[in-house]
Amino acid sequence: MNVSLADPVRESELRVSTDGSSVSLRGITKSFGVQEVLHGIDLDIPAGQFVAIVGRSGCGKSTLLRLVAGLDKPTSGTVEIDGRATGWRDTVRLMFQEPRLLPWQRVAANVEVGLSHRKSGDDRRRLAIETLAQVGLDDRAKEWPSVLSGGQKQRVALARALVSHPRILAFDEPLGALDALTRIEMQSLIEQVWQDKGFTAIVVTHDVTEAVTLADRVLLLDAGRVAMDVTVDLPRPRRHGDPEAAAIEGRILDRLLGR
């Protein structure tokens, strides 16, 4: 669903997704050697919700994201997707800060990497081109990644994540390396594809403004625990500098900075 500035819709009025998956974490701890990074996390994310996770460096944001994505296992506790503790990893995709494109493959072939479970052939290429069109890059399908800008490379990475129709899309600082204008454009694109596809989105970011711009809900991690859980019930798309959004940002920053 696309929402225009002329017809704002509050988050409470948005449709309930049937294309995303619910996430449930119970008693999650994660240790690396003697260092415990996450401490007894209990968290529920409804299907289709957009959640942002913020916090200081080293607070456990990326660790939590990797557990949800199935790239790591908790030391104790359970991670369930749609009520299942196993067998769900193919429904989750993770997008990183670096595009991680294969330089020896053209753009369309890089997107096809996200379809590794499908047989090669015309079907793979068709799906790749269709997904590139969703991020505005179908005209660059035959080019090499080296000729693309940083923002365009991230669009290709987004297409690669989207092409398999994930039910959960996790983002680990995906826009951190982009310039300010490109970052705003990518925020709008991520919001658009999330509204169109209905997947559950979980983004880790150091940028509180970005979190409030994108998310239905902002979680603040502090020392491996959820210190704040803030609902962002504002119309979409959100304008930078909006006073209501700024007030929410201020609350989060006050807690983050200990003011």
pLDDT in tens, 101-159: 999 999 999 999 988 666 567 788 899 999 999 999 999 999 999 999 999 999 999 99
pLDDT for 22 beyond 90: yes
CATH number at residue 185: 3.40.50.300
Cis peptide bond N-terminal to 237, omega within 30: yes
CA dist 259 and 133 (Å) reads: 45
Residue 163, domain member (yes or no): no
Residue 84, domain member (yes or no): yes
Instruction: Kindly state the average pLDDT of the residues 187-207.
Output: 95
CA dist 12 and 160 (Å) reads: 30
Give residue 120's pLDDT.
65
Residue 232, domain member (yes or no): yes
pLDDT for 163 beyond 80: yes
CA dist 198 and 159 (Å) reads: 15
pLDDT for 203 beyond 80: yes
Counting the structural domains of the chain, the total is 1
Give residue 12's pLDDT.
38
Residue 156, domain member (yes or no): no
Residue of 89, 30, 216, 43 lying closest to 81 (CA atoms): 89
Which residues constitute the domain of residue 43? 19-101+168-257
User: pLDDT-based confidence at 175, cuts 50/70/90?
Assistant: confident
For the record, the structure tokens of 171 come out as: 């983002």
Bridge partners, residue 36, by sequence = 31
pLDDT for 11 beyond 50: no
Give residue 58's pLDDT.
86
User: pLDDT-based confidence at 198, cuts 50/70/90?
Assistant: very high
